[in-house]
Each structure stands twice: as structure tokens, then as C-alpha cells.
Amino acid sequence: MSKTEAAAQERERLESLAARVGTPFWVIDAGVLRRRIGEVKAVCGECGFQPRFAMKSLSTWRVLQEMRDQGIWIDAVSGNEVLRARRIGFPGGANPPVIMLTADVLRDNALEVILNERVLVNIGSPGMLRELEAAGYRGPVALRVNPGFGSGHSKGVDTGGPSSKHGVWFEDAGETAAEAARRGLKIIMLHAHIGSGPKLEELLANLNRLTQEFARMAKAFPDLEGFSLGGGIPFTYKEDAPPVEIAQLGPLFADARKRLCEAAGREVRVEIEPGRYFVAPAAHLVTRIRDIKSTRTNEKGTGKNFIMVDGGFVDLIRPAMYGSYHRISIVGRGATNPVEEFAVAGPVCESGDVFTRGSSDLIAPRPLPRPEIGDLLVLHDGGAYGYVMASNYNSVGRAPQVWLEEDGSAVLVSRRETLDDILKAEVEEKL
């Protein structure tokens, strides 16, 4: 199929979906998701690792169902995430711990869910031991360690080091182990998440360092059944950067498992828990271009050309939150027009509702063909922390999600929210 034919087919498919569900909407590509799951399973299978899915990245029921069917375990971070996974059919209990609840603070129904579902709780603060004992919990626990190092695609998402709130500082882990023993709680797994930096080489170095740290700590935890090296497999968002070759993790994983089993003195389970790598390229936000307008250069700065679309940071907040980059394509009559510099902005009543932002939080126009009003504009690779971070700001309903099968068939897996959906929690109750 030629590029022209492929573009025409894509336009026809997206316009057909837009006619049914309106814009903006999310498309989840089943084929891409399955390929990513297959890649992770392949590298884990070669070295005896158990993969988990960090479901906070995209907790849509159909995605969870695919993970369940493929034998991927779950890392949840709230009581409701545990319940969502249980509704899809993931088993409760901690033998084996198919669902793990990782938290720094037990809020809302988290403690109740732990007691009822008996899932493995991964404590991120020592005080959680006191809460668990007081509630009558006597099951096993995991311990999330802050190893003192880590990275992220921006400073706002570093998961290890002195500025990270996550986990128990590694030098305090022994004291926490003793506290757990005094309260009759067995620590059966050590866990850390060192973040998803932009380069695989950085992840390899950090994973090797984390393995060394866990091997050193193992003797202080006689009941260990497993280790989790966290997630952090990077994903390439920019067009000019090479894709991540996940197969490079194989030798490191095999060596890590060997060293950790030796340190524990027995066979133990070793896990990873990607989120972004599984789902980032599997979902895209499809918007409609409603206008094109310009500002002029004056003493405040250089004028800009704006493509105005009906999707905003209520749908995809990552660019506004930390300047993240998403590929953009024009689908429609203007797709072959000459390229110009455009900023892409949405309808939200905030100046920050701009998808084309730079690392310094400034507007960073992109080279895009001049579209025709009414064309579609697609923001690619939004599967990780896209729909799940959507909001009802400005009383806007969250956009629908469409599951696109490999044979081209489509299923609506979440509808567009209505005003009644937004208002259903509002009450007037005397207290």
C-alpha cells in the first residue's frame, strides 16, 4: 500500500469513528498494545522475570482484560485500582501476589480493600506498618525502598533520591524490617522504582546499581520471596530519536536474577512493572481543527500561528503539566499542504492549554502542514497518563475511548461523559 493510499485509509477510518462518537476521542490500537506486551513477555521469559503492569498509566477495562489474558500481573496504587483489577478477573490474595497495592499513604478505601482482598501491600512509609497492625492485618508485606538515585523524563517525575517522596530511604530499611518483625508482619519482597529516563543506557546503569543495592540488603530480610526492579523502560516520543531496543535488557535481567537469588540464598521471584512502555504508543487523541488564527510580533515577543482544536488539557494534560512532547499529524485535506510553524491550542479557559510546549514551559511551535478547518489533528503516543489524567475542568465531560481491533473493527469502551455524569456526586446532606 502506498503512503497516499494509507493516508486515505486512515482518514476514512478516523472520520468514520468521529461521525459515530464525536471529537475529541481516544483510539486504543489493540495491535500495538499486543506487540508491546509480546516484547515485554519475550525479554522476561528468557530470564525468568514476572512482568506486572503499572495500571495507573492506562486503567481502561479493555486494556486490563488484555493484560489478564496475557498473564501480566498488576501493580495498583489505590484501593479502587485494586477493585478495578478484581472486577476484570485478576485474583486476590498474596500467594501468588498477582495484584500488588503500592502506596505511600493509605487513603479512602485502601485499608479496607487490603483487608478484604488480601492483596500484597507494598508499603512506602514506615507508619503504614502501624496502620496495618492496628487494623488487624497480619499478612505479608512488600517494602518500597528509595535507593537514593533515579531519574525521570522531567524533574517533576523523579522517583528516587533525596527529593522523592516515594519509599523508605535505603539506609532506614533495616530499621523498618525490625519494626515489621515487632508487629508480626513479614516483608516478603523488596521493591524500588528508579524512573523512566529518556535513554536506555541510563536505565541499564541504574538497574545494575539497584541490583547491587538489593543484593547487599537481602540478608536483613530473611523472609524474602521476591524483588521488584520497578518499571522505567523508556519510550521514544520524538520522531528523530531511535526506538528503544528492549532486547538489550535481556542479559542484564538474567544477571540480576542470578545475583539476587545468590544473595537471598534460594530461588526468588524477580519482577519488573512497566506502564509507559506497554501503553504509550497504543493510544492517540483525535481532535477536530476548529480555527486557525495568528498573533502579531510586538514589544512582548514574536507572533504565533495557532491551530485551534477541540481537545485540550482536560483530555491530555502532559504537555501543560511538564512540557511533554507528542507527535502531531494532520489528517484531512490539508495534510499535503506546505509546512509552516504552528502552535496547537485547545478550548480550555487557561493560557497553558497548548499542546506544543518546550522543556522551559514556553510555547514551541512545530512545523506542520497548513490544515483546512475541519481536518482532524491527531496527538500520538498518549496512551500513558493520557486518558487516566483527564479531568472535568470547565465542566467538560471526558472524551470517549474506542478500542480498534487488528481487523479494523471498533468497539466503544467508554462513552463521552455527560453533565449528569459530572454532577452525580453533588449532594445536599446534613452532617
What is the reported pLDDT for 331? 97
Mean pLDDT along residues 213-238: 93
Q: Which helix (H) or strand (E) holds 4?
A: helix 3-21
Measured between alpha carbons, how far is 241 from 246 in angstroms, rounded to an integer?
15
Residue whose cell numbers read 481491533: 405
Question: How many CA atoms, within 13 angstroms, populate the side-chain half-sphere of residue 158?
Answer: 15
CB within 8 Å of 306: residues ≥ 6 apart: 292, 293, 294, 295, 342, 343, 344, 345
Lowest mean pLDDT, pick from 134-138, 159-163, 376-380: 159-163
Highest mean pLDDT among 2-16, 197-211, 374-388: 374-388
Q: Using one digit for the tens of pLDDT, what is the confidence trace for 341-368? A: 999 999 999 999 999 998 777 899 999 9
| Confidence check: pLDDT of 160 > 70 | no
| Confidence check: pLDDT of 2 > 60 | yes
Which residues carry out catalysis? 349
Measured between alpha carbons, how far is 427 from 258 in angstroms, rounded to an integer?
57
Measured between alpha carbons, how far is 285 from 24 in angstroms, rounded to an integer?
7
Asked if the bond preceding 24 is cis, omega within 30° of 0, the reply is yes
| Confidence check: pLDDT of 186 > 70 | yes
Asked if the bond preceding 281 is cis, omega within 30° of 0, the reply is no
Using alpha carbons only, how large is the chain's radius of gyration in Å? 23
Mean pLDDT along residues 116-135: 96
Query: Strands (DSSP E) along 55-93, which ranges?
Result: 73-76
Mean pLDDT along residues 39-59: 96
| Confidence check: pLDDT of 154 > 50 | no
pLDDT tier, 153 (very low <50, low <70, confident <90, very high otherwise): very low
| Confidence check: pLDDT of 61 > 60 | yes
Mean pLDDT along residues 76-99: 97
CB 100 within 8 A of CB 73: yes
Residue whose cell numbers read 523523579: 158
If we measure between CA atoms, which residue out of 359, 340, 191 comes closest to residue 260?
Answer: 191
| Confidence check: pLDDT of 60 > 90 | yes
CB 16 within 8 A of CB 8: no
Mean pLDDT along residues 148-157: 58
Measured between alpha carbons, how far is 331 from 376 in angstroms, rounded to an integer?
5
What is the reported pLDDT for 152? 54
All cell numbers assigned to 169: 530511604
What is the value of pTM for the model shown? 0.94
Mean pLDDT along residues 266-271: 95
| Confidence check: pLDDT of 155 > 60 | no
All cell numbers assigned to 334: 490539508
Mean pLDDT along residues 74-96: 97
Q: Are strands 269-272 and 49-54 parallel, antiparallel or unpaired?
A: parallel
- The dihedral through the CA atoms of 91, 94, 100, 102 has a sign that is positive
Give phi and psi for 100, each to the nearest 5.
-120, 135
Domains of the chain and any CATH numbers: 3-27+280-417 (2.40.37.10), 72-274 (3.20.20.10)
What is the reported pLDDT for 385? 97
Mean pLDDT along residues 259-279: 96
